[in-house]
A = this chain, B = another copy of it.
Amino acid sequence: MKKWKVGILGATGSVGQRFVQLLENHEFFEVTHLAASDKSAGNVYGDVMASRWKVSNNIPEYAKKIKVSKCSPSDTPGVNLVFSGLDSSIAGEVETEYAKAGIMVISNSKNHRNDTDVPILSAEVNPGHLEILNYQATPGKIITNSNCTIMGVTITLKPIFEKFGIESVVLFSMQAISGAGYPGVPSLDILGNVVPHIGGEEEKAEFEPLKCLGKLENGQIVPADFKISAHCNRVPVIDGHTVCVSIKLKKQATIEEIKKVWNEFEGEPQKLKLPSAPAKVIDYREEIDRPQPRLDLMSGNGMATTVGRLRKDTVLDFKYVLLSHNTIRGAAGAAILNAELIYKKGLNKAG
Q: What is the count of identical protomers in the complex?
A: 4
Across-interface contacts of A168 in B (CB, < 8 A): 315
- Please pick, from B57, B194, B195, B321, the residue contacting A196 in the complex, using a CB distance under 8 A: B321
- In the assembled complex, the Cα of A289 lies from the Cα of B196 at a distance in Å of 6
Give the docked Cα–Cα distance between A163 and B277 (Å).
52
Q: A184-B186, A188-B178, A227-B314 are in contact. Are A294 and B237 (CB under 8 A)?
A: no
Binary interface profile of A, 202-233, with partner B (CB < 8 Å = 1, else 0)? 00001000000000000000000001110101
Confirm or deny: A101 has a beta carbon within 8 angstroms of a beta carbon on chain B. no
What distance in Å separates the Cβ of A265 from its nearest Cβ neighbour in chain B?
20
Binds B, one of A33-41, A83-91, A105-113, A169-177: A169-177
Q: How large is the interface on A (under 10, 10 to 19, 20 to 34, 35 or more residues)?
A: 35 or more
Q: List 28 A-B contacts (CB under 8 A).
A: A53-B295, A56-B294, A170-B246, A172-B231, A172-B244, A174-B194, A174-B235, A177-B191, A178-B188, A182-B188, A183-B186, A186-B187, A187-B187, A187-B189, A187-B191, A191-B238, A192-B237, A192-B293, A193-B293, A193-B294, A194-B292, A196-B289, A196-B290, A196-B292, A197-B289, A229-B313, A233-B242, A235-B235
